[in-house]
Amino acid sequence: MHSVRKKLLLISSCILISSCSQISLNEASQEEILKEFRSSEAYQKYRNSDGLSATVIITFQVESSGIRIDTMNSGEASAFQAFALKRDLKVQKVFTRLN
């Protein structure tokens, strides 16, 4: 009986720790968002792709904080949008300019 109780406590502790380890990006700093983005699967796929991307700077704004994130081309912008969607980061495209 004690063994089952200990296992349940250990499992629930692991679940709690893993759920707290992923920071809420809606309150994160620009540096934290960029760090998380650059280590994401979406960014790695973009970096490893051979596809050509239009050279435009696309700026996204985090709705909750107003932080702006610049992406350097259409491929990186698509990767950032996929990352934001997966991480439930609410952003909107606010500016596009040719580089």
Domain boundaries, the chain: 25-98
Which pLDDT belongs to residue 2?
60
Which pLDDT belongs to residue 20?
46
User: Using CA atoms in the order 10, 16, 22, 26, what is the torsion angle rounded to 10 degrees?
Assistant: 180
The total number of residues shown for the chain amounts to 99
Q: How many C-beta neighbours within 10 Å does residue 98 have? A: 7
Which pLDDT belongs to residue 17?
47
| Low-confidence residues of the chain: pLDDT under 50 | 16-21
Q: Give the C-alpha separation, 25 to 23, whole Å.
A: 6
Which pLDDT belongs to residue 10?
59
Which pLDDT belongs to residue 97?
87
Q: How many C-beta neighbours within 10 Å does residue 37 have? A: 20
Q: Give the C-alpha separation, 83 to 80, whole Å.
A: 5
Which pLDDT belongs to residue 22?
53
Q: How many C-beta neighbours within 10 Å does residue 71 have? A: 22
For 90, the 3-state DSSP assignment is: coil
